[in-house]
Amino acid sequence: MASTQEIQTTSGGKERIPQTIAIFKEAFKDDPVFAYFLGGLPEEKRQPYLPTLLTSFAKASMLNGGQILEAGDWGSCAILMPPGKKAENPCTILQAGLLSVLMTLKVSGCKRFLIEYTSGAKCVKEKGLTKRERAAFWYLFLVGTAPERQRQGLAGALIDRMKDLARRDGRPIWLEASTARSRRVYAKHGFADVDEVVVGRGRVDADGKAKEGGEGVTIWGMVWRPEEKLE
């Protein structure tokens, strides 16, 4: 496996969305959080709708100053939001297609995304970041690797690129890990656990699939801070 320093990474904007979704739709097809978001749809419509949901997230991010990074000639890619920018901007919800997505997901899907996940992540963020950090931090929104390109150090190369950006302004990187495997990867690269959020408890299992009395889906809030703190 090549070292992360040897892997080329590049960054760009909205023109990269199609290539990003091509990777994400495979990388997240079994992700428990997305399974939970889509759980209100008939089973036969969930996987076909995943690219639409991912595209709306990507568009919302790009409309609000986000950037798309890729590594290894599109073996892996990520959406990164810079300090002070948020994808969930009400002013861009129509342009990003998020309103249409939320209407398709119906009341149950909206509740799962807007209330359970978003509010839960916000609480953990308030616990893990100082007030000043919460005002402007780097947010690793999504990162995914093509299944055939896993274990090549590509996600690590992207994380190293993000760390370089964060070091320049002395601000932390925040993320929410949605699987135990991704949590281990982030921990390997210096991210520390803050706390857990469990969504769907009593209604779905750990994979986000309907199960009465299920344990629910666990999300781990994690943070990485550069060596030099904010003055």
- C-alpha pair distances (Å), 126 with each of 132, 174, 183, 199: 11, 11, 20, 18
Give backbone dihedrals phi and psi of 195, rounded to 5 degrees, phi first: -170, 175
At 5, is the pLDDT very low, low, confident or very high (cuts 50, 70, 90)? Answer: confident
Which structural domains are found in the chain, ordered by start? 4-224 (3.40.630.30)
Which residues are CB-neighbours of 172 under 8 A, at least 6 positions away?
Answer: 129, 133, 137, 138, 166, 223, 224, 225, 226
**What pLDDT score does 231 carry?**
42
42-51 pLDDT per residue, tens: 999 999 999 9
136-158 pLDDT per residue, tens: 999 999 999 999 999 999 999 99
95-112 pLDDT per residue, tens: 999 999 989 998 888 899
* Section 22-33 average pLDDT: 97
Query: Beta strands 76-81 and 138-145: pairing type?
Result: antiparallel
**What pLDDT score does 204 carry?**
97
Q: Which two structure tokens, joined as six digits, stand for 110? A: 């909206």
User: Could you tell me where the DSSP H helices lie in 96-215?
Assistant: 98-110, 118-128, 131-135, 154-169, 180-188
State which amino acid sits at residue 215.
Answer: E
In this prediction the pTM is 0.94
Give the mean pLDDT of the chain.
95
